[in-house]
A and B are shown apart, each in its own frame.
Chain A
Amino acid sequence: MQVPAHFGYDRATSIDHALRLLARHGDQARVIAGGHSLIPMMKLRLAEPEALIDINGIDELRGITVSGDELLIGALTRHADLLSSAVVGEHFPVLHDAERVIADPVVRNFGTVGGSLCQADPSEDLSAAFVALGATGVIRGAAGSRTVPLREFHLGPYETAVAPDELLVEVRVPIRPGGSSAYTKVERRAGDWAVAAAGAAVWLGPDGAITDAGIGLAAVGAEHFTAPEAEEFLRGRAGDDAALVEAGKIAAQHCDPQADQRGPADYKRHLAGELTTRALRRAVARASGQEA
């Protein structure tokens, strides 16, 4: 039987209340959102916080809204809510593609967007999807708010820019015309973490050329979950298949997969390239109106 070590438990009623509780407990406290990464870690005693601060009652952390040319996603938004949101699907199909293959429907009822990003598991899918979209995280601490591009958010495996006394409160995704996006993942069985996964976003000019591209990679040791060399290669090019294949090759060259029970490193590298190309093809097809 797996039982967590002893801890104290506090329920925060507002963001400010949560920040006060975090300040009181110092770095011995951990925020709990869906708990679907933290509780398993505590059961295995890989995490032994002295205090848990439950943020599930904080309504201001919830919700998906469009404000100006940005989509705002509260940190406490559940996977299931992101998946069922029409406005998310309309602007960012990559997020719906990714959510369909994150865990299973029951886990998606509880796991949150903020928890996923803050857990910073190297195989985490939403990080790759948000990185492709050029999203930004809003972090609140006692001194106020700051924004961090998700490309600078992940400092390493299980390590983020959020300090122990801070909260991730929101993710902001810029809505830019002329673009679309897609996510592809290979998993061993339904609901499993990725062997490898790739997200792509492209923006096309009036002539169909790629004006901008974003690529996110999960589970293949890509720094900050991204492939900047492949993105740079695509900018200004016609979005023909040869270019998308070459971009996949470049992404594969620059990642650093590790062999584990999900597969050997060379297989994962192969997947990184192939999945990048497939995600790009789908994003281009969607952006040019050839595919839903």
Chain B
Amino acid sequence: MGEITKGTVQEQARRIFICAGSGCISSGSRQVADKLQQALDEAGLNQTVPITMTGCHGFCEQGPIVVIAPDDVFYCRVQPEDAVTLVEQHLVQGQLVESLLYRDSQTGERAKSAHDIGFYAKQQRIVLRNCGTIDPEQIDDYLAREGYQGLARALTMTPEAVIEEVKRSGLRGRGGAGFPTGLKWSFAAGAPGEKKYLVCNGDEGDPGAFMDRSLLEGDPHSVIEGMVIAAYAIGAQAGYAYIRAEYPLAIQRMQIAIDQARARGYLGESVMGTDFAFDLQIKAGAGAFVCGEETALLASIEGERGMPRVRPPYPAIKGLWGYPTNINNVETFGSVPYILRAGADAYAAVGTEKSKGTKVFALTGKVKNTGLVEVPMGLSLREIVFGIGEGIQQDRPFKAVQIGGPSGGCLPAALLDVPVDYDSLIAAGAMMGSGGLVVLDDTTCMVDLARFFLSFTQRESCGKCTPCREGTKRMLEILERITQGEGSMDDIIALERLAGVIKSTSLCGLGQTAPNPVLTTLRYFREEYEAHILEERCPAGVCKALTKFAIVPDKCVGCTACARVCPIHCISGAPKKVHTIDRSRCIGCGQCAGKCRFAAVVRA
């Protein structure tokens, strides 16, 4: 499929790119591809217009996405029924199919290509540059886009010089903590050991994040190239790509890429004809969030329960099976080929003084444009949420962004101008984390969200150390009490005290960061906690125990829909007459509000 068939120059340039990222596949892109192929066959164009299945374009909200070259016309929400029109009108008659072009929600104007869409215009794609433009299952597509040239250059340098280059680029680890990558490599390079290992962390357990998945699915060779460069720099002979089992497509594409790289001599006994040898295999994770923590991950590769070990010794000194091991995140490795190809200075020119380069975020939640975005470090939250994301769905009020997942925090509107870099986020009480960015509006309850994260960390705590195992449980109990309307002001003091102890005494990052969602919501949304405790009221109307419903008489037409759905039959009223809810019996399940077509049921 990836081959460009011979033809006239104009015909050669025509190519259909269909997104085969997980998002678009679930929106039906495979069916669209089948129908397009059929339509091409029928129009006699199957020899001249090849179809390429690509990785994620990032704009999952608008999937399935189809891009047609030349001119990269960007069609979105394409359905199988549209295939014939696309072929007839676009390819045969040379006319744009207006109805499938992206329509700007503000101006109502149609955009012809990705560059004309606000979502893409403010992004800068270094790591994701190939996602959506190549067939991830064809190494030749990668090679045609300067693939493996970073490795070629690295192999002409000494390992020390490669490390120096990465240090100068300012690249910091994208797995969460932001440790300088070049420095980390120099530790493993300098550690004595007859064998050394290299590990790629593709566990991506942070709920609300899918950056690593998209990169592995969309451009696996860039991760492999980064790993081979790192292996050369530190002197590793063997490597593992640890990918969570929930990502079957990522595992499959990575395996294909590894096999192709080996067949072409980018992996194996003699990498690119030199006497440097390195090979790579995949380990599928078995489902445990804590396995994203580096020492737990190593235990898991060794076939043990994935429990963290005490550091030091750090993996760079004593890692996999006791040998020096360097472990980096998928996106970290994905940034390396560019640094070696274009040079450290080119990379360091992007970003802020202390956070260089770009960061990929999974922009999700209540924002209009959800999807995967890559931005230069230092862009403000406002530019991400209101620029790229184009604001809140249904133009509701913005409330907060949750950044950094279960280790991160919630930042309010007042902090929208904070630049997104490692240090500014830490100062605000959150952290970069792996790159999940969940946008919240006024219908999200911050106490409930804190409870949600604690229930996650409590469940995922491996149980090895007491502060994390017991402490998260106690914090969760308190939060549950508050969301049930049974909290007291002493509970807030207890939460803060527990948080301090857990942060300072837990064994690994899971416990050390677990209180962050509670602490940031207490810091920026304390009044919501107080409303739950003092007024027994959930301002966002989320906490069921504190929410009751009522019917606005003027709006009720007496359709009986609400009375029929109410599970405890507390709604009364005759057909075509105004209904009423017995407040004392209402359990706040909200099913009536969901059924009402006249917006007559409100929280009260």
A binds B: no
